[in-house]
Structure 1
Amino acid sequence: MGVPGSDDERMAVRRAGPVAVLTLTAVVVVAAWVSWFLGGLTFADAADDSYLLTNSAQALTFTTFGALVLAHRPGHRIGLLFVAYGACYTLSVACLGLLTDAVGLPEAWARAVELFGITAWIPAPVVCLPLIVQLFPDGRPLSRSWRPLAVATLAVLPFTPIPTLSVAAGPAGDGPTAEEPMLPVIVGEVAQRLIPVFAAVAALVLLASLGALVLRVRRSRGVPRQQLMWLLWAVGLFAALNAQRIVTTDGPVLFLLTLPLIPAAATVAILRHGLYDIELIVNRSLVYGVLTLGVVLAYLGIVAGLSALARDRLSAAPLIATAVVALAFAPARSAVQSLVDRVMYGQRRDPVAAAARVGLRLGAGLDGVLRAVCEALRLPYAAVASDGRLVATYGRSPRRRHTVSLEVADGPPADLLVGLRAGESRLSGADRRALELLAAPVGLALQAVRLSEQLGESRTRIVAAREEERRRLRRDLHDGLGTVLTAVTLKADAAHNLRHTDPERSARLLLDLRADLTAAIADIRRLVYNLRPPALDELGLLGALRQRAQDSWRHEHAGYVVTIDAPDDLPPLPAGVEVAAYRIATEAVTNALRHGGATACRVSLRADHAALHVEVSDNGSGGAGAWPHGVGLRSMHERAGELGGTLTAGPTDCGGRVHARLPLEQT
């Protein structure tokens, strides 16, 4: 026999036990109902205080779902607990079937069976249910520190007969026909005193179990969290429908039929947690639960109000209430749906409102914008990635994420990364549309961050350049001008000392002294020119450039033509703009002379209301590709950047071109 056959046999063996238990449970329940009807009782009697209907439903459903879990997950503790829960109610149903007239048990036996029947179901809600809550979904406690709670829950099991011991120790019936109690009276008295203690312990165990469940939900992520959501939905729905019975221990018996929702939801969570969208189920349950409560209250309120106003003379009050409720249902549903969606999903159904909320956080920087994105869409995580690194993050990164491309004006491309909510495998269409709209303010925030970083880097370069300029001036003054002036002083003293004894040598020293002073003056002029060319103060920017074109460039490079193209009515320029324009133009012309192989160069100056445009173009080779950032080109970029301007430089079809835009001060 091959391997597949062996697997089929093993699977059949594994399923034989659960199937046998389920079959036995079904046989017991059917036999009890047959006995019930043969004894002359009706379905209404079974649905009343006898609890036959509710106990049968719990016996069949818990056993069915437990057998289903065990058939697919042999030995799973949640499946075993479901079967144990169903077995407790199966024994109770069997006792109810034996108490009918169709069986006709003697009084003593009937009383014993009745006491056993009302005792058999107690371990189900007191022991099995808390253990299910503690161990769901994997059948293990939350951690080692929570194991004592499971042990304490099991320790309650031997004390579950306490509530019925007092009944067994009392007389059966009234009057002279009353039978002797089944147990000594002292046992009943002790049991009566222990009932409050037993109830308190059972309540504490259940509350601690719910606390463990809440803590497990808070710690869980991914699939376990999605499974827990199923159980929470079922427990919440059962508690809402049976709130009166839970608080007052009295209420509609048929509402107990909603208890099988718990094993049904737990089974789906264990076997097919990804088959249905639990968040959608929770969403719709909240919406229609609130609507149902609102409809009932509105109907009762309108009927009561009209009856009071008309003093019971208005027979159409129910019809009016029905009409009002019918007219208000559609807008009420829309409003409740929007409210529930906003609580669960944030503002994903209103992307414009979400974008406005994010836009308000632009002043808080990129971190504040990412936080606003998470708050607006109820997302656990958001981050911006660019150039292989995370620029900013908010929240804890989950395993599953969604990426949205950002549109950024300058710099490398960037992406917005958002984490999926717990239990989600992908974002919904509404989420994706909202994120596409939110990408715009996130891109603006990223651009602001980049501009801030560039501004910081520019300031750093400016400070470094200033300090470097100061060091250069100190070096030139100390090593150049300082040395010359020291020599002048010494030569002046020597000439003074030799004026009588050696007049000729004194005269030569004076001539040397004159040459040294001339050199010192030239150094001073050079230093002053490097700080700010004097021609700018004497002739202005246009005149200084024309003078440089006529004198320096023409004499230094014969045959090289530099043309200055500028209107005569240039507006008054700030001193910083004049210096930057002059330095950029002269540096660009010098580079074209030295490296471009050009014979002609054109310097154009144009000014508008916002900036001065300096353009230097030549007829040289221009190069085959982008120009390398040497000292000269870097200096031009820094001079433009110091004023908040821009500079572009590179080859063209006709040669080389440098264009600088220098902002003008606004008055």
Structure 2
Amino acid sequence: MVAAGLTVFLGHGLRFPAEAGDQPVPYAQLFGVTLALPASVVLIGARPRNSIGWLLLAVPVFGTAQDVASVYAVRAQARPEERLPWGSLAYSLGNALWVPALCLLIMLVIFYPQGRPASAAWALLTWPLGIGALLATLGMATAARPAAEYYRGEGPVVQLPAVWTHVLTLGGAGLAAIATVLVLGGACVRVRRAAAPERQQLLWLLSGLGLLLGVSFVPAGEWLLPPALASVSFAVTVGVLWYRLLGIELILRRTLLYGGLTAAVLCVYGGVTAALSTAVSAGPVPAVVAAAVVAVLLTPVRDRLQRAVDRVVYGARHDPLLPLRHLGSQVSAGAADVLPVVVKAVASAVRAPYVALTAADGTLLAETGTRSEPMLVRPLTVAGSHVADLAIRPAERDGLAATDARIVDALTAPVALIVHTQHLNRELQAARRRAADASSAERARIRHDLHDGLGPSLAGVALGLEAVETSVAGHPAELDALVRRLRTEVAAAIDDIRRVIDALRPVALDLHSLVAALRERAEILTRTTGGRPRVTVEAPDDAPVLPEQVETAVYRIADEALTNVVKHACASQCLVRLTFGADLVLEVLDDGRGPYPARSRDGGVGLVSMRRRAEELGGSFRFVHSRRQGHRVYVRLPLPA
């Protein structure tokens, strides 16, 4: 305030140059800059730890310092009899201090509204903006005085060569301009992504800066600067203290709509008029045709512009069905756990900083954002049964806005169904696991009883009959034939028991599909053998559903073939390939050189078993061994239509 008063005092009654009769006091600029003082004082008093008030205070400090310095420099030259000292220094300051004052307004966007940069990337932008402002200030302060502006003062206190001042001024201005574009562009992105109240706060500041930048390019708009500068201070104050004071969304919506519509009409009218004027030499034809084109295009352009403005200002709230469509598309994307997707979709729809889903027993199912009070809890029910609670931290201080409340009401039913479906799905999976475990345990018990109980018993009977046959040698032929027949029947019973054990469905097929079970088996073999051989499975993920006997046969044949590869082939690579069509084709290929035995040494049936399994289902089996290409097991099984 002292600087503003001193500026008016020094310029009072001063007319220089005399022939022009101009007075050097920039009253409009001085008035506009000092309007930021009350706002900054209010912010510092209300939020002393928030740097926004201090940054805003620096703007009138630099602005009034520039004004008093420039008027002082003019007076020092116009009134040499007063012998005012430091006239050159005053000229340099008056010529350059507007640069930091302007850059401080851009710096406000970086620190707004929390008083600190929103992220590390935003903090980095302060460096090019500050360095650019410093370089441009030095360049302006040390540049030679233009000859036409001899009345502005004696000249800079330190005058550098023109090359250096140009480098400093243009380099600093370019760096600051790039940083300004990045800051304003990033602020627009923040507006699109931010939740309330930060969104409304940014809208207030950007609307004020937009007005200031707009009037800066208006010819003879000197007296438009005070309200523009005042609007920035007012926007900052409202955004920090009470962001909902005047409904910035409605104001901005109308401004963008009609401002953009007016610009579009002027562009179309001017373009059509200019184009037709080149073709038609005279007459009212260009203006009439241009007016007709504008009239035809005005309504569709307005409708499209209205939708675009609504998307920018209101986000999801401009279209009540958009959150439902977004939620449906997110859930249909096929995520393994859809509940985190659901809470993010709800938070995005109402721009809530925190959303959580809690089960009826209090278990947290999913959440997004940082929890804070107050919380709005909506119970989720399905067929009268309480399944979960939807907790929302409203973006507004006074709770959900009316539109947001309607959106939440619309989302409650589908979210409840999704949560209930997820619960049923988890129960189904648990029941399937229990059934698979019970089936596996039962098969293990049967296998154990047959293998360790009945099987050895029958084997002992067979040995006893063999001893009986030896002891009765030479006795009547009828007794000898009876013993041999008993031995044959017991051997057949033992083979039947082995066949039953061998035909039991693998446990892996109860837990997984055929392709997944083969891949799991391949991973186990690769891991246990240290990657020699490395077993891979090549099969489509959307394999058709197969009959149980086909799945069992394919898995057993592939498992037997892989066992042979590991034990006998000496291979480094092995590929299991499944293809589905009218027939199922199984191929097991390896690059080994070792020969396969016809029967496994551990008592298995090897290639014979694989051939038997394929032929029992009406298929074919082929085994090829090549010293150059390795081994190939080829199985073709017919599939039902």
TM-score, with length taken from structure 1 = 0.52
Is residue 194 from structure 1 mapped to residue 173 from structure 2 by the alignment? Answer: no
**C-alpha displacement at 1:200, in angstroms?**
1.8
Distance in 1 of aligned mates of 2:94 and 2:194: 33
Partner of 1:66: 40
Distance in 2 of aligned mates of 1:197 and 1:104: 27
The amino acid across from 1:428 in the alignment is A
Is residue 290 from structure 1 mapped to residue 269 from structure 2 by the alignment? Answer: no
Tell me: CA distance 1:111–1:407, structure 2 relative to 1, closer, same or farther (3 Å): same
Partner SS state of residue 161, structure 2: helix
Tell me: CA distance 1:320–1:158, structure 2 relative to 1, closer, same or farther (3 Å): closer
Tell me: CA distance 1:81–1:364, structure 2 relative to 1, closer, same or farther (3 Å): closer
Whether the 8 Å CA contact 1:89–1:121 is kept in 2: the answer is no
Tell me: CA distance 1:348–1:407, structure 2 relative to 1, closer, same or farther (3 Å): farther
The amino acid across from 1:340 in the alignment is V
Partner of 1:552: none
**C-alpha displacement at 1:499, in angstroms?**
9.6
Report how many aligned residue pairs link the two structures: 475
1:523-538 paired onto structure 2 within 5 Å: none
Distance in 2 of aligned mates of 1:343 and 1:190: 49
1:457 to 430, 440, 444: 430
The amino acid across from 2:256 in the alignment is L
Partner of 1:467: 440
Is residue 159 from structure 1 mapped to residue 131 from structure 2 by the alignment? Answer: no
**C-alpha displacement at 1:291, in angstroms?**
2.5
1:555-634 paired onto structure 2 within 5 Å: none
Partner of 1:125: 98
Distance in 2 of aligned mates of 1:146 and 1:346: 27
2:319 to 350, 356, 364: 350
1:315-394 paired onto structure 2 within 5 Å: 317=287, 321=291, 333-365=302-334, 370=342, 373=345, 377=349, 379=351, 384-387=357-360, 388-392=362-366
**C-alpha displacement at 1:413, in angstroms?**
0.6
Tell me: CA distance 1:126–1:353, structure 2 relative to 1, closer, same or farther (3 Å): closer
Distance in 2 of aligned mates of 1:499 and 1:317: 129
Distance in 2 of aligned mates of 1:325 and 1:115: 57
1:97-112 paired onto structure 2 within 5 Å: 105-106=78-79
Partner SS state of residue 321, structure 2: helix
**C-alpha displacement at 1:440, in angstroms?**
4.0
Distance in 2 of aligned mates of 1:495 and 1:269: 105
Whether the 8 Å CA contact 1:287–1:336 is kept in 2: the answer is yes
Distance in 2 of aligned mates of 1:117 and 1:315: 58
Tell me: CA distance 1:134–1:27, structure 2 relative to 1, closer, same or farther (3 Å): closer
Whether the 8 Å CA contact 1:163–1:191 is kept in 2: the answer is no
1:133-144 paired onto structure 2 within 5 Å: 133-134=106-107, 136-137=111-112
Unaligned runs of 5+ in 2: 474-478, 505-547, 549-640
Partner of 2:31: 57
1:17-32 paired onto structure 2 within 5 Å: 21=1, 24=2, 27=5
Distance in 2 of aligned mates of 1:145 and 1:456: 50
Tell me: CA distance 1:414–1:484, structure 2 relative to 1, closer, same or farther (3 Å): same
The amino acid across from 1:373 in the alignment is A
Is residue 265 from structure 1 mapped to residue 239 from structure 2 by the alignment? Answer: no
Distance in 2 of aligned mates of 1:56 and 1:206: 25
Partner SS state of residue 317, structure 2: coil
Distance in 1 of aligned mates of 2:349 and 2:433: 39
Distance in 1 of aligned mates of 2:48 and 2:450: 92
Distance in 1 of aligned mates of 2:348 and 2:58: 46
Identity %: 27
**C-alpha displacement at 1:253, in angstroms?**
4.4
Distance in 2 of aligned mates of 1:119 and 1:326: 54
Partner of 2:578: none
Question: Please, what is the CA RMSD of the aligned residues?
Answer: 6.2
Partner SS state of residue 35, structure 2: helix
Q: Deviations over 1:262-303 (max 9, x none)?
A: 233223334434545555554444333322322433454566
Tell me: CA distance 1:371–1:336, structure 2 relative to 1, closer, same or farther (3 Å): farther
Whether the 8 Å CA contact 1:349–1:434 is kept in 2: the answer is no
Distance in 1 of aligned mates of 2:16 and 2:42: 32
Tell me: CA distance 1:444–1:386, structure 2 relative to 1, closer, same or farther (3 Å): same
**C-alpha displacement at 1:80, in angstroms?**
4.9
Q: Deviations over 1:223-256 (max 9, x none)?
A: 67765554333334433454x57xxxx8854554
- Of the structure 1 ranges 65-74 and 466-475, higher mean CA displacement relative to structure 2 is found in 65-74
The amino acid across from 2:165 in the alignment is L
The amino acid across from 1:351 in the alignment is P
Distance in 1 of aligned mates of 2:295 and 2:7: 43
